[in-house]
């Protein structure tokens, strides 16, 4: 009986989902549930490949305040035009540089010190980073990894989109 109810709920949910209008690239980002109150950053150039950030809390929060991916990660023109994805973004953040960068816009006098005590305690262990609590601003699966300090490619699955075979 319980299994039958679960199947019916699943079927109804699937039917409702099928009637929803598909999300197109021309559509504005979902921006979670709230309405924007001012200018919103246009991250569509980045979301062509990184669509997972379209509803990621940290990215959406910044987007709503007109702070784009580019403001933190640079224009990254070479990265954006590299279909083989072996060119790193202009700016990446090794763990030790995350908190200092965030605090450039979010200084101690503008945040709740009590809530951020563990992050502000400079233990040298790099355990207290903004992205540990604020969003999942990391890719869960990577086909390429770069040294975030030097930009050097350190891990690569060797799959290429623009090979001579594809271009023929």
HEC per residue, the chain: CHHHHHHHHHHHHHHHHHHCCCCCCCCCCCCCCCCCCCCCCCCHHHHCCCHHHHHCHHHHHHHHCCCCHHHHHCCCHHHHCCCCCCCCCCCCCCHHHHHHHHHHHCCHHHCCCCCCHHHHCCCCCCCCCHHHHCCCCCCCCCCEEECCCCCCEEEECCCCCCCHHHHC
Answer whether residue 85 is part of any domain: yes
> Taking the chain, what is the end-to-end CA distance rounded to the nearest angstrom?
58
Confidence grade of residue 77 (pLDDT, cut at 50, 70, 90): very high
Say if 31 falls within a structural domain: yes
106 domain residue, yes or no = no
| Of 163 and 11, the one with more pLDDT | 163
Residue 11 lies in a domain: yes
* φ, ψ (nearest 5 deg) of residue 53: -85, -5
Report the predicted TM-score, pTM, of the whole model to 2 decimal places. 0.68
pLDDT reported for residue 17:
47
Look at residue 70 and tell me if it is in a domain: yes
Residue 128 lies in a domain: no
Query: Mind listing the pLDDT tens digit for each residue in 24-68?
Result: 556 655 554 555 567 899 999 999 999 889 889 999 999 999 999
109 in any annotated domain: no
Can you give the residue range of the structural domain that contains 158? Answer: 2-92+138-167
Band (81; pLDDT cuts 50, 70, 90): very high
Beta bridge partners of 144: 156
Q: By percentage, how much of the chain surpasses pLDDT 90?
A: 38
Asked if the structure places residue 161 within a domain, the reply is yes
Count of domains observed in the chain: 1
């Amino acid at each position: 009986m319980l299994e039958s109810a679960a199947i019916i709920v699943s079927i109804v949910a699937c039917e409702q989902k099928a009637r929803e209008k598909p999300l197109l690239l021309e559509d504005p980002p979902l921006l979670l549930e709230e309405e924007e109150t001012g200018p919103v950053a246009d991250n569509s150039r980045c979301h062509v490949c990184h669509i997972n950030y379209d509803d990621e809390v940290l990215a959406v929060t910044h987007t709503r305040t007109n702070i784009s991916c580019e403001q933190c990660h640079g224009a990254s023109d070479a990265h954006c035009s590299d279909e083989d994805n072996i060119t790193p973004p202009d700016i990446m953040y090794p763990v030790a540089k995350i908190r200092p960068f965030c605090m450039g816009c979010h200084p101690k006098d503008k945040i709740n010190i009590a809530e951020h005590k563990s992050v502000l305690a400079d233990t040298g262990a790099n355990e207290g980073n903004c992205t540990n609590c604020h969003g999942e601003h990391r890719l869960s699966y990577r086909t390429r990894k770069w040294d975030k300090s030097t930009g050097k490619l350190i891990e690569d699955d060797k799959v290429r989109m623009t090979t001579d075979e594809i271009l023929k």
